[in-house]
Amino acid sequence: TSATDGLFRINLKRRPLDENNRIAARVTARATESSRSSIRKFGYRGTSSLT
Amino acid sequence: DGSDTDIVALKNYMDAQYYGEIGIGTPPQKFTVIFDTGSSNLWVPSVKCYFSVACYVHSKYKSSLSSTYQKNGKPAEIHYGTGAISGLFSQDYVKVGDLVVKNQVFIEATREPSVTFLVGKFDGICGLGFQEISVGNVVPLWYNMISQGLVKEPVFSFWFNRNADDEEGGEIVFGGADPNHYKGNHTYVPITRKGYWQFDMGDVLIDGRSSGICSGSCAAIADSGTSLIAGPTATIAEINHAIGASGIVSQECKTVVSQYGKTILTLLLSERQPKKICSQIGLCAFDGTRGVSIGIESIVTENDGSAVGWGDSMCSACEMAVVWIQSQLKQNQTQERILSYVNELCDRLPSPMGESAVDCSRLSSMPSVSFTIGGKVFSLKAEQYILKVGDGPATQCISGFTALDVPPPRGPLWILGDVFMGAYHTVFDYGNMRVGFAQAA
Mean pLDDT confidence for B81-97: 88
Spatial distance between the Cα atoms of B202 and B220, rounded to a whole number of angstroms: 9
Spatial neighbors of B313 by CB under 8 A, at least 6 apart, are B250, B252
Residue-wise pLDDT tens digits, B333-369: 899 999 999 999 998 988 776 778 899 999 999 999 9
Of B160, B177, B390, the CB nearest to A19: B390
Best mutation site among B4, B11, B13, B17 for testing chain A: the one with the most A CBs within 10 Å?
B17
Q: Which residue has the higher pLDDT, B97 or B121?
A: B97
Tell me the sheet residues that pair with B305. Answer: none
Task: Tell me how crowded residue B69 is: count the other CB atoms within 10 A of its CB.
Answer: 18
> In this complex, is the C-beta atom of B21 within 8 Å of any C-beta atom belonging to chain A?
yes
> In this complex, is the C-beta atom of B420 within 8 Å of any C-beta atom belonging to chain A?
no
What's residue B8's pLDDT? 33
> In this complex, is the C-beta atom of B394 within 8 Å of any C-beta atom belonging to chain A?
no
Spatial distance between the Cα atoms of A13 and B186, rounded to a whole number of angstroms: 25
> Which of 228-247 (B) contact A at CB < 8 A?
none
> Which of 116-135 (B) contact A at CB < 8 A?
116, 118-121, 135
Computed from CA positions of residues B179, B182, B185, B189, in that sequence, does the dihedral angle turn out positive or negative?
negative
Q: How confident is the model at residue B141 (pLDDT cuts 50, 70, 90)?
A: very high
Computed from CA positions of residues B248, B252, B258, B263, in that sequence, does the dihedral angle turn out positive or negative?
negative
Spatial distance between the Cα atoms of B118 and B391, rounded to a whole number of angstroms: 25
Q: Which residues of B touch A47 (CB under 8 A)?
A: 1-2, 5, 79
**Pairwise CB contact (< 8 Å): B97 & A15:** no
Query: B9 and B352 in contact (C-beta within 8 Å)?
Result: no
3-state SS, residue B18 = strand
Residue-wise pLDDT tens digits, B222-272: 999 888 899 999 999 999 999 998 877 788 899 999 999 999 999 999 877
Q: How confident is the model at residue A44 (pLDDT cuts 50, 70, 90)?
A: very low
Query: B144 and B165 in contact (C-beta within 8 Å)?
Result: no
Indicate if the pLDDT at residue B35 is higher than 70. yes
Spatial distance between the Cα atoms of B362 and B183, rounded to a whole number of angstroms: 29
Mean pLDDT confidence for B298-303: 46
Spatial distance between the Cα atoms of A43 and B197, rounded to a whole number of angstroms: 29
Indicate if the pLDDT at residue B197 is higher than 90. yes
Residues of B with catalytic roles? 36, 223
Residue B84 per-residue DSSP state: E
Of B1, B75, B171, the CB nearest to A12: B171
Q: How confident is the model at residue B13 (pLDDT cuts 50, 70, 90)?
A: very low
Indicate if the pLDDT at residue B395 is higher than 70. yes
Q: How confident is the model at residue B120 (pLDDT cuts 50, 70, 90)?
A: confident
Report the range of poorest mean pLDDT among B97-111, B312-326, B359-373: B312-326
**Pairwise CB contact (< 8 Å): B75 & A51:** yes
**Pairwise CB contact (< 8 Å): A51 & B152:** no
